[in-house]
Amino acid sequence: MKVFKISPAELDTMIEQWNKVHVVYAPAMEKQAAASPDCAPGWCRVDGSAALTLLPLLTGPTLASVKPFFFPQPETLLTYTLENTRPDKGMMREPERSKDMQVVLGVRPCDARSVLLNNLPYQEDQFFQANRQRTALVGFICDQTLSTCFCSRMGGSPLDNEGLDLALSRAEDGFIVEVCSEKGEALVTGLELAPAPEGDISALAARRNAGGNPSATELDSLKGSELGTLYDAAMWQSLGEACINCGACTFICPTCYCFDIQDEVVRGQGRRIRYWDSCMFPLYSLHTSGHNPRGQKVQRTRNRFLHKLKYFPDRFGPFSCVGCGRCVKDCPVNIDIREVMDDLMHLTAVE
C-alpha cells in the first residue's frame, strides 16, 4: 500500500483537481444540511475554492451516512411512457444513469464499513453495484470518538481504513494518505505527492495496535444462540411500548437497506422507482387482504433489532450494524441499541 504525506494546502489542491473531472461531495455542516438541492440531505457539493473548510475534521460520524450514494433516494429502476399516441406506450426501458465518478470526502471508518456490509445482500443488484463502481470514498480516520460511538464493539475500529479508497489521518503539519484500492490509486495518479516519512507510518501503526484486535467481539455469542430465546424475550414488550415507530433510526442507519418499489407517473411519463422503506411502518408488511403479520408495534421493533443482530448474521455472517451511534443520538424516545444488545447478551448468558 502506498502512503503519502500532504500539507493542508496540498489537500485543497487535490480536491480542486478532483473537482475538475469528478463530482465531489463533502459532509454538510449542521446548518447546510437541508440546503443542498443537488444532493442528499447531510451532504453538499464541494466548490473548489473552499474545499478544506467544508471538511468537518472533528470527531464522530458525519451528519448523514454514505448510504444515499449507493442507494439513492429514489433510484429509478426503469422508465416508460403512457401517452396514448406513442407506439411504445407501456414499454419498459432501462433508465438513463449517470456514469460520472463521484468522490465522497470526509467518510468515517464506520460508514465505509457499512458499504461492505450492505454489499452482501446487494451482491447481485446491478444498480447498487453500478453505484459502487462509480463512487470513491475518501475517508478520515477518527481522531476521537463520541460517547455514542461503539464501532469497536461491532468489530470495526475508529482507525480502520477498510472499505475506503483513500484514508486520511491527521499527522503533524498535515495528513497521512493511505491508498487503499485501485480507485484510490487512480485518484492520486498524476499528483506529485511525497511519500510519508517512516516515523509517521509507524506512529499510525502504533495507534492501530494500541486499539487491540477489533474483529473479536463479545457479541458473537448472539450468533450461536437459538432464535426462540431471543425472539420470545420479555424485553421486546417494554421496548415496543417505548418505540413510537417513527422510523428515524432506519433512515439515518447506514446499514438499514430495505426498500419499497412504486410506479410514479407525471404527465404521461412513468418511472418505476425504489426508495428507502422502514420495517417500523405497519404498511411495510400489510397484505392486501388486510392481514398484517407484524401488525403490532412490538413486533416491528423486535424485527428491526433482530434483523441487525440475528437474521442478517445468520444469513451473511457479520452483524448489520457498524456502531456509528446515529440511532442512539437521534431516537426521540432514547432507545439505545447498546442496551438492547446488553439485554440480549444477558439472555443468552442465562441460557
Binding site for other proteins (CB under 8 A): 77-78, 80, 82, 89-92, 94, 121-122, 124-127, 129, 227, 231, 257-263, 265, 270, 272, 274, 277, 279, 284-289, 293-294, 299, 303, 306-307, 310-311, 314-315
Pairing outcome for strands 3-6 and 75-81: unpaired
Query: Is 145 or 278 the residue whose CB approaches other proteins more closely?
Result: 278
Q: How far is the CB of 326 from other proteins (least distance, A)?
A: 20
Q: How far is the CB of 307 from other proteins (least distance, A)?
A: 7
Q: Give me the count of residues in the chain.
A: 351
- Residue 220 has φ and ψ, to the nearest 5°, of -55, -20
Three-state secondary structure call for residue 49 = helix
Beta bridge pairs of residue 5: 176, 194
Query: Is 210 or 266 the residue whose CB approaches other proteins more closely?
Result: 266
CA 172 to chain centre: 29
Q: How far is the CB of 123 from other proteins (least distance, A)?
A: 9
Q: How far is the CB of 125 from other proteins (least distance, A)?
A: 5
Peptide bond into 214 cis (omega under 30): no
Are 282 and 290 a contacting pair, CB within 8 Å?
no
Burial class (CB within 10 angstroms; exposed 0-12, middle 13-18, buried 19+) of 4: buried
Pairing outcome for strands 23-27 and 259-266: unpaired
Query: Is 111 or 125 the residue whose CB approaches other proteins more closely?
Result: 125
Query: Is 207 or 315 the residue whose CB approaches other proteins more closely?
Result: 315
Q: How far is the CB of 88 from other proteins (least distance, A)?
A: 10
Query: Is 4 or 80 the residue whose CB approaches other proteins more closely?
Result: 80
Q: How far is the CB of 204 from other proteins (least distance, A)?
A: 37
Cell 425504489 -> residue: 274
140 vs 131: CA distance, rounded Å: 21
Query: Is 48 or 259 the residue whose CB approaches other proteins more closely?
Result: 259
